[in-house]
Amino acid sequence: MNFEINSANPAVKAIITGTAPHPARLAAARGILPLPFNDLLEVLVALTQNDDAELAENALSTLASQDSNGLQNAFKSNEVAPQVLNFYAEREDLPGDIYETILTNPNTPTAAIVKFARLTKSGELLEFISFNQQLLIRTPAIIEAIVHNPYRTAEAERRASEIKREFFEKERGAQQIADELRARGQEAAAEFVETGGTDLSLEDALFLAEHIVVPDAETDDSWLSLEYIEEFYEETVEQRQTIISKILGEISVEEDGFSNDRISMVNRLMRMGMKDRVRLAMKGDREARNILIRDPNRIVAQAVIQNPRITEQEIEKIAAMRTAPEEVLRQISINRTFARNYTIVHNLARNPRTPFANAVNILARLQLHDLTAISKNRNVSDAVRRQAGRLAAARTGR
């Protein structure tokens, strides 16, 4: 008899393998051999498969006579043998709460759960299985068993179908899109679809992938230190709608209106989770960068200036933005490459959101006529204005 023995009890091994005397095996089959309950159940299930008809019949009879409370306690144990759980999962006469215990025991073979989901006539138990999302993801055959069982409830079918669509059909669809993008030579876009965008529909993922221009090999996320982790959060629907209105309002003022395509782009971007928006900010094209630099979350905005394809002309524009996060302006001001661009440092000096310490350091690099203008600019802070006046006076000898 081929039966995998779970118990470490030598008596159990002797009975199952047949090395124990026949009277001892018969006593075990009748349930009168003093064994721990889990060991007894394992012996009995093994003996039901024995070629000796007397042993098999007695074992079946003993198993059928077991008390429900005793079985319930046994099935809650991590020590119960998988073969025992499999045996009782095939029974059709147990109370529902015992089946629930069997279905949630980690020792229950997945094949037994698949078979149970395929054959059970209990819609409630099918619904119970459907709530175990991780189990269904690990074993897609259970999903198929539920949706094809004529006794399924509407809720069980809905949950199983949703998991199938989200975790399997979507994954296959994403891979097909990635393969198509790669065939067009859009490697960066293919990588984006394969490795993220899980909150998006395939249609949105494909649309946004067209705006990915930076491959993974060119990105560097070392700037994302631990201090930023707590700022990774997902906005509510209301918060996202407010952000959409804010971004569209800024673009409308800047560009004297916006197209329906731009509205669609912003809406699709804001359906993304924050982590995916950070990824897109670091990998996206100019249009994506122009929108995401306006994201109220400073990490997304900072990711934009970490994009290796960003141009100095874009940085000039960001340095002048009154809505740019202070941290973004600070990062620009200490960047040696950007510091060589006079327009960038001039815009930073005139931007009231540039941190004071950085603005003061920049003033020394400005030409006299620009210092004089800033000293009279009521939009900058009093401290920056006074410092600009002092520097201008020093240069003119006053």
Separation CA 156–CA 126 (nearest Å): 6
Separation CA 174–CA 201 (nearest Å): 9
User: Hey, is 212 helix, strand or coil?
Assistant: strand
Mean pLDDT of the chain: 86
- Other C-beta atoms closer than 10 Å to the C-beta of 238 total 8
Separation CA 300–CA 232 (nearest Å): 10
pLDDT at residue number 227:
58
Residue 207 pLDDT greater than 80, yes or no: no
Locus of tokens 């008390």: 67
Residue 197 pLDDT greater than 60, yes or no: no
Question: What would the pLDDT profile of 226-285 be if each residue is shown by its tens digit?
Answer: 556 666 677 788 888 888 888 888 888 776 656 677 788 888 888 888 888 888 899 999
Separation CA 278–CA 304 (nearest Å): 8
pLDDT at residue number 231:
64
Separation CA 226–CA 15 (nearest Å): 59
pLDDT at residue number 228:
63
Residue 113 pLDDT greater than 70, yes or no: yes
Average pLDDT over every residue of 372-390: 91
Average pLDDT over every residue of 2-21: 86
Residue 36 pLDDT greater than 80, yes or no: yes
pLDDT at residue number 305:
94
Q: Are 295 and 317 in contact (CB under 8 A)?
A: no
Share of the chain above pLDDT 90, in %: 44
Average pLDDT over every residue of 128-150: 89
Residue 304 pLDDT greater than 70, yes or no: yes
More confident call, 344 vs 205: 344
pLDDT band at 86 (very low <50, low <70, confident <90, very high): very high
Q: Are 147 and 118 in contact (CB under 8 A)?
A: no
Average pLDDT over every residue of 169-183: 70
Residue 199 pLDDT greater than 60, yes or no: no
| Helix segments in 165-297, DSSP class H | 170-183, 187-195, 202-209, 237-255, 260-269, 274-283, 286-292
Q: Vertex 34, ends 32 and 37: CA angle to 5°?
A: 95
67, exposed or middle or buried, with CB in 10 Å at 0-12, 13-18, 19+? exposed
pLDDT band at 194 (very low <50, low <70, confident <90, very high): confident
Average pLDDT over every residue of 309-315: 95
pLDDT at residue number 363:
92
Residue 57 pLDDT greater than 80, yes or no: yes
User: Hey, is 7 helix, strand or coil?
Assistant: coil
Separation CA 312–CA 291 (nearest Å): 17
Separation CA 398–CA 393 (nearest Å): 5
Q: Which of the residue ranges 24-28, 101-105, 274-278, 290-294 would you say has the lowest mean pLDDT? A: 274-278
Residue 175 pLDDT greater than 60, yes or no: yes
First to last CA, the chain: 106
Residue 16 pLDDT greater than 60, yes or no: yes
Question: What would the pLDDT profile of 323-379 be if each residue is shown by its tens digit?
Answer: 899 999 999 999 999 989 999 999 999 999 999 999 999 999 999 999 999 999 998
Average pLDDT over every residue of 13-37: 89
Q: Which of the residue ranges 8-22, 98-112, 231-245, 350-364 would you say has the lowest mean pLDDT? A: 231-245
pLDDT at residue number 30:
92
Amino acid at the residue 326: E
